[in-house]
Every structure is written in structure tokens, then in C-alpha cells.
A and B are shown apart, each in its own frame.
Chain A
Amino acid sequence: MTGAEHTGTRAIHAWLLLLPALVLLIAFTHYPAVQTLIDSFYSTPKGGRASVWVGLENYQVMVEDPVFWIAVRNNLWFAAATIPCSIGLALLMALWVNERMAGRAFLRMAYFTPTVLPMIAVANIWLFFYTPQYGLLERFTQLLGLPSQNWLGDPGTALGAVTVVAIWKEAGFFMIFYLAALQTLNPSLREAASIEGASRWQFFRRVQWPLLMPTTLFVLVNAFINAFRMVDHLFVLTRGGPNNASTLLLYYLYEVGFSFWDTAYASAITVVLVAVLAGIALFQFFVLDKRVHYK
């Protein structure tokens, strides 16, 4: 057997091994993405009328659609709040439950519980937290003598209310990654730091935090994607209301696609959403990745 032949067989083997994953990826990710891009340049087929080439008209509609821009603005607020808050909270919780103390296993489980629960079930519970007059939150604010507040029914607070649910849901999930990373850190680092007389904060800032960077990058990518992907709770809590005050991009996309049946316009929104997410992911992998310290 010559070397070239050997390489050829190896290549075939490699492709064969890649084949199952490749078929699934192409059939369910790449082909639909390309088809969506093509659809976004056509009109929506309705009944007897077939779709026709309309060029950039769907994108034109998007630029002029006020609800789309409300959804974009809301989503940016949602991302700006959920990403830092959930990561910060996750880190804080992980550092805490990493300590040796009584009831640690119970605490870890308690923090992780929100992740395990289905979002729709969670949203139904939160619906009663936010209920005016006798909701859990209302009982609490009543004790403090604060005025009654309709959290989900007021345009000023609806978006904030759904954001809090998302943070609560996500923080526990990210905590697990931080906890796993913290436990792989070499204990001798801590001993060395204490011999050098480093304070707790210095130890975190100079040792733990840099070593956690790979985890932070991974969590950050996930948090970004989730900020545009997590809309399940809207179906229960506000349905995007009142008057679009809590609409997020993906929720609006669902409405356009499956309530209005304007599939062409929905395709155009999808293309924009995919482009934005891909851009963020590429930036994170190629720019941020260089600044991350790997062991």
C-alpha cells in the first residue's frame, strides 16, 4: 500500500465519520438558512397567488415597521440587562457555594432549580408573583408601604418584569459552569496567595478571575444567544404587551410568521437576526478569544 493510497482511505474514513453530523447540519441548519435568505427576496405566497421576486421590498417594509424597531430597542435593553446581571450573579453564587460550609449541596441545588424547570411552568408561577393586589411581590411592597403596582400591565415596568424572570432563569445555569471551573483550579494557588498575604479580593481579581476567562467567554456567548432566543415566558406573561412594550425580536418574528402568515417578511427578519447573532459570535471567537488566557 503506498502512502497516497493510505491518505485517500483515511480521508474517506474521515468523511464517512463526519457524514451523519454533516447530513443533520445541512438538512436542518444550513439548507433552511439559505432557503430563508432566498425567501426573503420573494413575496408571501397566498392561496392561488404564487410568490414573486420583490427584491429588497421585505427589508424596506422592515425599516418602516415601527413595531420592528420597538422590538429591536426592547431586545437591546433586554440583552444589556440579562447578560451582565446573569453572569455577575452566576459568578457570585458560584464563588459562594464553592466555599466549605454547611448545607452547601442544598444551596447548589436551590440555585440550579430554575434551570431545570420548564420556562412555561416558571412563567405561570411568576405570573402570580407579579399579580397586582395579592401577588407575592405586592404583599412584600405592601409591608414596606409602597403603592400598588401592576407590573405586567404597565408599559413602564412590563419589560423590566420579563427581564428579571430571564435573569433568574439563566443565572443558575451559568453558575454550574463557573462552579465546575472553580473546582478545577489548583488549591496550591490559594495557599500560595495566602502565604504572600493576598486579600480575598486580590486573590479573586489576580488569580481566579483570569483563570476563569475561558469559562466567561463560553458563558458570554451563551448569554448573548439566549438574550435573543429566550422568549417562551412572553407567551404566558405579557404576549408582548401592553401595546408592544415587552415585545422581543424572536417573539415578533413568531407573530409575523405564524400569526400573520407573512412568511416572506418573517424570513427577512430571520435573516437580520441570524446575521446579527453570527456577527456577535464571530467577534467573540476571533477578537475576544485572543484576549483569553488558556492554561
Chain B
Amino acid sequence: MLRYTFLRHLATTAFAASTALLGVSSSAHAQGTTEVPFYYPVAVGGPIAKVIDGFAEGFMKENPGIKVSPIYAGTYQETIVKALTAHKSGTPPVTSVLLSTDMFTLIDEDAIVPFDNFAKSADDKAWLGGFYKAFMQNSQTGGKTWGVPFQRSTVVMYWNKEAFKEAGLDPNKPPTSWVELQSMATKLTKKDASGKVTQYGVQIPSSGFPYWLFQTLSTTNDVILANDTGSKVTFDNPKVIEALQFWVDLGKAGVHPSGVVEWGTTPKDFFEKKAAIIYTTTGNLTNIRKNAPFDFGVAMIPGNKRKGSPTGGGNFYIFKKSTPGQQEAAYKFIQWITQPERAAQWSIDTGYVATSAAAYDTPALKKYAADFPPALVARDQLPVSVAEFSTHDNQRITKVLNDGLQAALTGTKTPAQAMKDAQSEANRLLRGYK
């Protein structure tokens, strides 16, 4: 008897639940609501989730027919794992923010559709044309636009003004070239009585993703590491080897820490006055502003043959396996969230670089920059910035480059040997994409 009652109860509950579900879907159908599940990663500090939820709510208020549901999906790596696995099982999110460098991977997996499918009017085209060119390099290939810049960053240089004063340097004149970087770093390097270094002149981190930091050296040595179609790399180009040699030589000269330098502790090394100049992302600006116990400056990456730095960060993508209605709705949302006022707000709240010149002309961002001028360094560097390194089979090729860079930095191989080995391995991996 007891069992019978239990089963009946279960059946009733199940029935109620299914009617409830049906009820939801039918009422949704009646109102013509389009569901847009949207994955986003969190890669920096700050109240990202709150800001994103706020944007989604604002958008839905203006567009009652669309229901955007932001889903926090972890780090960038976790987010692409989730999005691609969902794509392979047939139900990907309609849109997601993923690394701009994942473009080729997503195309090769046939997971995304180009924005050209939706951007048809002159207004749409003007919107796509409004983003900084440096950001669009990672978003376009084969004449099509596959990603829309959203949470983007770039590498800049931070310097300790007090350390400059102590070393007899002008605290308001950071190095602008490799030669100046080398000579200033030598003056900034401090040793104790036993000859042990207590403060390095310069520190460029090399754990995890050394290729990104290396691009600050290769770009300024006037060489691009991959072609536009992502099918060829130039690791064994003499200029690349020369750039790597410069990095290795800084370590050999004792003005840069030897071996592989941890990315995560680099800001802390800066606060602890163990490094007078560091290279890191603009995303660390808020962190350093809050925690540096001394006056610091932010500047463009020192040039050599030219100026330049890689961009980084995430783009919006639209997934193929969703209905045309959902894709249109996602497109509308992406267009809405990247408007100058919102891009400005996003930049102020998170420390990311605003993605269009128009965003920097908004009163909000102008006022913010007036209070805190370092926020503008990234913008000033964007005209000379280049795409973050990206190819087909991206993470594998990137690993080949990373391994080569680390082998040279730890002295396992010479820069020339390391880059030649990396080149032949990359050629082998890319042979199917020619």
C-alpha cells in the first residue's frame, strides 16, 4: 500500500512537472520569445558576472522578444571545452565569448558562422568597421568576419618611478627602444654585498603562454609570426631568432631573471620591488593601481625596428548549430553590447581595452581617462598593435612555439636551434592546411 501511494505520488509529480514544462514552452512560443544561451569566461578580477547580467537585463528590457541567458563557463580554456563539446553533441550555446586566437580552431570544427551573414545594411557594416583594426586582425580571415571584439587587452610596460629615481634616471622617461631598455635595465639592477641580485632591471614573464610576451619582441623587430590564413609560421626567420636572442641575452647579462619567469607572480615581483620594469597585460592595470606601494608609470612597449605589441583577449562568436532566429537575436545582442557607451562602461568596470575609437570619445571614458591617464596607453598603442599569434591547429602550434621559447630561455637550446626545431615541427603539423 505504501509503495502504491509512493508511486502514485511520483506519477502525479512527474505529470505536474511535465505540464509545467510544456506550459513554459507553449507560453514562450505564444509570445515568440527567442532563447539565446550565452557562454562567457572570467579571466580577470572584478565583478564581471554582475556587469554581464546587468547588460543582459538592459538588453531584454529593450527587446522583450529575446531572452538572453548569460552562463558563466569558467576560464577561457574551460569555456571553449564546454562550448566545443556542446557543439559536438549538437546543442552549442547560440553565442559565446572565446579567445580571438580560437578562430581557426572554431572554423576547422565547423562550429561558427561568419558575421557577414547578418551584417547586410550600411549601418551594420559601419558598426563592424568601427572597431580598431588591431582587434579585427584576429577576427577576420578569408575575407570574412568570424568574431566581434569584446573583452580585449594588450601587453604594455609598467615601470617603478621610485626605482628610476634611485638609479639616477628620469622617473618620467621610460625606455622607448631596445637599446634604452638594455641600458636602463642595467642601471636599475641592484645587487647586495655578496653579488646577489636584489632587484632586476626588467622582467618579461615566460610561463604558460610565453609566445604572447615574445610577440612584444618579435613585433618590434618587424616580423609577424604567422600569415593571415594561419597556415604558415615564420619561427626560423632571422629576425625572430634575433628577437629571442635579445630576450636570452637580457638574462645572460643578469638584468633579467634567468630561466622561466612565472606570469602569475610577476605583478607581485613588481610590488615587492624585485623587478623595476615589467611587461604584462593591460588587464593588470587595476590590480597594480591598487597594490603598488610606489608611484608607477604605464607605457608603450619599447620598439626596435618598429613599435608594436600583440593584442589579446576574447571575441563574440555565433554558433552554427542554432536556429536562424536565434542567430539573428544573438547578432542583435552583440551589436547592442558593443555600442560605444557600453564598451566604455565595460572598459571602466573591468580594465579591458575599449574596442572602438568611438568608445574613447564617450564622456564617461573621457572623464575616467582624465582621472587616470594610464588607461589611455593601450589605446595609443593600438594603431601599431598586431594580432595575437594564431594558426590552424592553434593550441598545438602554440605549444611548439612555447616549448622552443622555454628551451632557449632555460639554456637547453640556442635560440637559433630552438626556433629551427619549432619551425620544422610546425611545418609538419600545418602541412594539411596549405
Residues of A within 8 A of B (CB): 46-48, 127-128, 131-134, 145, 147-148, 150, 152-155, 236, 238-239, 241-244, 255, 258-262
Residues of the B chain whose Cβ atoms lie less than 8 Å from the Cβ of A154: 259-260, 410
- Interface contact A134-B274, CB-CB below 8 Å: yes
- Interface contact B264-A127, CB-CB below 8 Å: yes
Report the Cα distance A46→B107, complex, angstroms. Answer: 10
Interface flags, B101-120, vs A, CB<8A=1, else 0:
00001011111000000000
- Interface contact A131-B403, CB-CB below 8 Å: no
10 contacts between A and B (CB under 8 A): A133-B272, A145-B194, A150-B260, A155-B410, A236-B264, A243-B404, A243-B406, A243-B410, A258-B77, A259-B77
Report the Cα distance A128→B265, complex, angstroms. Answer: 8
Cross-chain contact of B412 among A131, A132, A155 (Cβ < 8 A) = A155
Interface flags, B178-217, vs A, CB<8A=1, else 0:
0000000000000000101110000000111000000000
Residues of B within 8 A of A (CB): 77, 81, 84, 105, 107-111, 194, 196-198, 206-208, 257-262, 264-265, 268-269, 272, 274, 393, 395-396, 399, 402-404, 406-407, 409-410, 412
Report the Cα distance A146→B268, complex, angstroms. Answer: 23
Cross-chain contact of A48 among B105, B110, B197 (Cβ < 8 A) = B110
- Interface contact B259-A150, CB-CB below 8 Å: yes
Interface-central residue, A128, A131, A239, A241, by most chain B CB under 10 Å:
A241
- Interface contact A259-B406, CB-CB below 8 Å: no
Residues of the A chain whose Cβ atoms lie less than 8 Å from the Cβ of B274: 133-134
Report the Cα distance A216→B198, complex, angstroms. Answer: 47
- Interface contact B257-A242, CB-CB below 8 Å: no
Residues of the B chain whose Cβ atoms lie less than 8 Å from the Cβ of A261: 84, 105, 109, 395
Cross-chain contact of A238 among B81, B207, B403 (Cβ < 8 A) = B207
Cross-chain contact of A241 among B107, B265, B393, B402 (Cβ < 8 A) = B402
- Interface contact A153-B399, CB-CB below 8 Å: no
B199 to chain A, nearest CB (A): 9
Residues of the B chain whose Cβ atoms lie less than 8 Å from the Cβ of A47: 107-111
**13 additional A-B residue pairs with CB within 8 Å, beyond A127-B265, A134-B269, A243-B407:** A46-B108, A47-B107, A48-B110, A127-B262, A133-B197, A150-B260, A153-B262, A239-B208, A241-B402, A242-B207, A243-B410, A260-B395, A260-B396
- Interface contact B257-A150, CB-CB below 8 Å: yes
Report the Cα distance A243→B402, complex, angstroms. Answer: 7
A-B contact count (CB 8 A): 95
Residues of the A chain whose Cβ atoms lie less than 8 Å from the Cβ of B403: 241, 243-244
Cross-chain contact of A147 among B108, B196, B406 (Cβ < 8 A) = B196
- Interface contact A148-B410, CB-CB below 8 Å: no
Residues of the B chain whose Cβ atoms lie less than 8 Å from the Cβ of A155: 410, 412
- Interface contact B208-A242, CB-CB below 8 Å: no
Residues of the A chain whose Cβ atoms lie less than 8 Å from the Cβ of B84: 261
- Interface contact A260-B393, CB-CB below 8 Å: yes
- Interface contact A259-B260, CB-CB below 8 Å: no
Residues of the B chain whose Cβ atoms lie less than 8 Å from the Cβ of A147: 196
**CB-nearest residue of chain B to A48:** B110
Cross-chain contact of B258 among A128, A150, A236, A238 (Cβ < 8 A) = A150
- Interface contact A133-B410, CB-CB below 8 Å: no
- Interface contact B410-A134, CB-CB below 8 Å: no
Report the Cα distance A223→B302, complex, angstroms. Answer: 50
Residues of the A chain whose Cβ atoms lie less than 8 Å from the Cβ of B396: 259-260, 262
- Interface contact B264-A152, CB-CB below 8 Å: no
Report the Cα distance A255→B206, complex, angstroms. Answer: 19
Residues of the A chain whose Cβ atoms lie less than 8 Å from the Cβ of B395: 255, 259-261
B212 to chain A, nearest CB (A): 13
Residues of the A chain whose Cβ atoms lie less than 8 Å from the Cβ of B196: 147-148
- Interface contact B207-A239, CB-CB below 8 Å: yes
Contact flag A131-B262 (CB < 8 Å), given A241-B402, A260-B393: yes
Report the Cα distance A258→B105, complex, angstroms. Answer: 12
Residues of the A chain whose Cβ atoms lie less than 8 Å from the Cβ of B393: 260
List the 10 closest pairs (A to B, CB-CB), nearest first.
A47-B110, A153-B260, A153-B259, A242-B406, A259-B395, A242-B260, A150-B259, A243-B406, A243-B407, A260-B396
